Amino acid sequence: VKFSFFHLMPYPYLPDDFDEKYDSSALTYPNANFDPKLGSALYARYLDELEYADQLGFDGIAVNEHHQSAYGLMPSPNLMAAALTRRTSNARIMVLGNAIGIRGNPLRVAEEIAMLDLMSDGRVDSGFVRGIGWEYFGHSINPVKSGAGSTETMKFCAERKYTYMSVYAPTSIVRRWFDGYRQAAADLGYVPDPERIAFSVPVYVADTDEQAHREARPVLEWLYRKGLKQTAQMVTPPGYMSPGSLRGVLASGMRSLGGFSYEDLLANGQAVVGSTAAVADRLAELYEKLGGFGQLIGLFAIGPSTHQQVMRSAELFASNVMPALRPLGVAAERTTA
Amino acid sequence: VHLLRGGAGEPVLFLHAAGGAGAWLPFHALLAEAGFEVIAPDHPGFGKSDDFPEAEAIDDLVYHYLDVIDALGLSRPHVVGASFGGWIAAELAVHSPHRIGSLTLLSAAGLRLPDHPVADIFLLPPAKLAAALFHDPPPPAPAPPPGDPLDLDAIIAAYREATSLARFSWVPYFYDPKLERRLRRITAPTLVAAPSDDRLIPVEHAQRYAALIGGATYAEVADCGHAMYFERPAEFGSLVASFLASHPLAQSGVSR
């Protein structure tokens, strides 16, 4: 397994009456609530954290794209990747990814990735996301033309041998996605390299289990209940899903992400929290439950977690969890495949 | 194409608003009783009409309705359109003025007035949308008892219609930048009507249509929201019927 340190660059300074007063931390959330001085300091801090992850020995440092949202302050992940090319030396710089659906002319994205490739001396991995529903409102891009459901995406990735990555869903659903991707590859007559399957999950490590849970609970609740708070209309604008896919999601009884309790999130594998031993055990268990994966994309900077917390969590993970889990993956998969 | 038809007399092609496909309403019945043959098709992707996945802009609907008019054997029908359907009617009249016997625009979409924007209807949850549609909103439907299964068919049908609507109106948002300067092409007698309390498409849009279409008559229906013929069917029915009656097809339009 390879390990990446993933950053969303959240804006954690939401007002105390956020829950009652606002439908979402995105799109409809007022710009007036944003303090540019704090924003400036956050960018500096967050880049420091990504650079530190490179020094700690993470295989990858990952950035992504979000718009008009306190959930993530990176409308352009390529700008952040460019900053990282100059002050990191070993880690892959992973753009996970450009929201190609809302970027207008894709040639501009290709040009920027090509620049990053040269600036980083070949360390850039270029990923793509579809863009969240609210971003189709914000950028006046017609979601009807945004294309695909998950089945089509699996097939598209399998045909090109692209890496397929999950986000946020409970383990049972992630397993279904990964199996779908493996099946799409099998239909094409090959077994995907384990590294082509990436599991992303929020990870919080502290010196003891007790400390980890005490500190992780509020930041994970912030992530799922505030950072990701949005209305049904923002999640699925018209045409974002096919009627058949929407029926499937509704019939499966899938809840909105804000409906999960902290305990649910841990039990569902939507977050991994604890001491180094507990986190290593839990990730090994999730590895089995998911039928294996070759990349772990860890979200270490979660919501309002402090700089010290993020640095400590990443240090503990790099020194004690990565060595334990690294042997999982490639060899095991090749024998069972 | 699924359509409802009733009454006998001069043909009236009725182009429905984004809501209201497949429904024969008191408004339709009033026009039929007033001596018109009312023909009310469901737009592509709405109600019981098939999807039209290759369509991507409002002009596709113009060609669609020219085909419908031909297929029905109509030469120059009255055309009445409401809201989204009013936008289609205006585009149709601009494209083929000689095919339109008379034109009635009921709080039509299609124009952009920067000082009077159309509401963000795709962001409104269903309950707020319902409230915004009416001057005097009906009491909200009682919440289903907890644990009741979702009415998946109804949810999916509504999502399909919203998707069909978004296909034509997400961007540009409910307007065609070329429409305004082409409105001068309209030759048919035209009625532009609006409800007095329109919270979705401000009445200034109707006023703009009336100002730009030569000889257009302008009327407002009091104490009424964008739901128009749902909220005040008698008033909208008599307004439209009397306009149609005073512009018989034999005397209208230009043809040679």
Per-residue model confidence as pLDDT tens digits over A266-314: 999 999 999 999 999 999 999 999 999 999 999 999 999 999 999 999 9
| B152 closest CB neighbour out of A28, A140, A251 | A251
To the nearest whole Å, the CA of A138 is away from the closest chain B CA by 11
Which one, of B88, B119, B120, B121, lies nearest residue B105 by Cα? Answer: B88
- Phi and psi angles of residue A119, each rounded to the nearest 5 degrees, phi first: -60, -30
Among residues A7, A19, A109, A10, which one has the least CA distance to residue A48?
A7
Are A149 and A242 within 8 A, CB to CB?
yes
Contact state of B123 with A28 under an 8 Å Cβ cutoff:
yes
CA-nearest of B251, B186, B249, B246 to B219 is: B246
In this predicted model, what pLDDT tens digit does every residue of A205-240 receive, in sequence order?
A: 999 999 999 999 999 999 999 999 999 899 999 999
Is this complex's ipTM strictly greater than 0.90?
no
Place of tokens 């594998």: A269
Q: In what order do the strands lie in the sheet with B36-41?
A: B3-6, B36-41, B10-15, B78-82, B102-106, B190-195, B217-221
Backbone angles phi, psi at B36, to 5 degrees: -125, 150
Instruction: Give the pLDDT confidence score for residue B94 in this predicted structure.
Output: 98
What are phi and psi for residue B120, nearest 5 degrees? Answer: -80, 75
What tens digit of pLDDT does each residue of A164-208 get? 998 888 999 899 999 999 999 999 999 999 999 999 999 999 999
Q: Count of residues for chain A? A: 337
pLDDT tens per residue across span B103-118: 999 999 999 999 999 9
Q: Where are the beta strands (DSSP E) in chain A?
A: 2-6, 60-63, 92-99, 124-129, 164-165, 197-205, 272-274, 295-299
- Any chain A CB within 8 A of the CB of B24? no
> Best mutation site among A144, A145, A231, A249 for testing chain B: the one with the most B CBs within 10 Å?
A144
Contact B162 A238 (CB under 8 A): yes
Give CB contacts under 8 A, 24+ apart, made by A105-114.
A109/A78, A112/A78, A113/A78
Cα A96 to the center of its chain, rounded Å: 7
User: B51 — contact with chain A (CB < 8 Å)?
Assistant: no
Selecting from B120, B152, B163 the residue whose C-beta is nearest the C-beta of A144 gives B163
Using a CB-CB cut-off of 8 Å, the residues of chain A touching B156 are 243, 246-247
CB contact under 8 A, B159 and A234: no
**CA-CA distance, B103 to B95, in Å (whole number)?**
13
Separation CA B105–CA B220 (nearest Å): 12
Q: Does B55 touch chain A (CB under 8 A)?
A: no
- pLDDT tens track for B133-142: 999 998 887 8
The reply to whether residue B122 touches residue A234, judged by beta carbons under 8 angstroms, is no
Mutate to test the interface with A, among B170, B173, B174 (most CBs of A within 10 A): B170
Cβ–Cβ < 8 Å for A324, A280: yes
Given CA atoms A249, A252, A253, A255 in this order, what sign does their dihedral have?
negative
* Beta carbons within 8 Å of A90's beta carbon, 6+ residues apart: A54, A57
Give dist(CA B137, CA B130) in Å, integer. 7
Interface contact A238, partner B, CB < 8 A? yes
Residues of B in contact with A253 (CB under 8 A): none
How many residues are there in chain B? 256
Strand boundaries in B107-202, DSSP class E: 190-195
Over 50: is that where the pLDDT of B255 sits? no
Q: What is the pLDDT of residues A66-91, one digit of tens each?
A: 999 999 999 999 999 999 999 999 99
A142:B166 CB<8 A: yes
pLDDT band per the 50, 70, 90 thresholds, residue B73: very high
Establish if A246 touches chain B: CB-CB under 8 angstroms: yes
pLDDT tens-digit readout, B156-168:
999 999 999 999 9
Q: Which long-range contacts (CB under 8 A, 24 or more apart) does A181-187 make?
A: A181/A154, A181/A157, A182/A291, A183/A154, A184/A154, A184/A155, A184/A157, A184/A158, A184/A159, A185/A158, A187/A158
Q: Does residue B240 register a pLDDT over 80?
A: yes
Q: What is the pLDDT of residues A114-149, one digit of tens each?
A: 999 999 999 999 999 988 999 999 999 999 887 666
Residue among A8, A29, A9 nearest A18 (CA): A29
Residue B219's identity, in one-letter code, is A
Best residue in B54, B60, B123 for a mutation probing chain A (most A CBs within 10 Å): B123
Where does the pLDDT of residue A330 fall: very low under 50, low under 70, confident under 90, or very high at 90 and above?
low
Residue A243 and residue B124: Cβ atoms within 8 Å? no
pLDDT band for position A255 (cuts 50, 70, 90): low
DSSP codes, A237-259: -TTSS-HHHHHHHHHTTPPPGGG
Q: What φ, ψ does residue A190 adopt, rounded to 5°? A: -145, 165
- For B51-99, the DSSP string reads P-TT--SHHHHHHHHHHHHHHTT-SS-EEEEETHHHHHHHHHHHH-GGG
| Nearest chain A alpha carbon to B162 | A238
Are residues A142 and B125, on separate chains, in Cβ contact within 8 Å?
A: no
Dmax over Cα atoms in chain B, in whole Å?
65
Quote the longest CA-to-CA distance of chain A.
Answer: 57
Q: Answer yes or no: is pLDDT of B252 > 60.
A: no
Q: How far is Cα B105 from Cα B201, in angstroms, rounded to an integer?
A: 13
Q: In the predicted model, what is the mean pLDDT of chain A?
A: 93
Contact A242, B162 (CB under 8 A): no
Q: DSSP E strands: which ranges in chain B?
A: 3-6, 10-15, 36-41, 78-82, 102-106, 190-195, 217-221
Instruction: Please give the radius of gyration of chain A, using alpha carbons only, rounded to the nearest integer.
Output: 19
CB contact under 8 A, A28 and B165: no
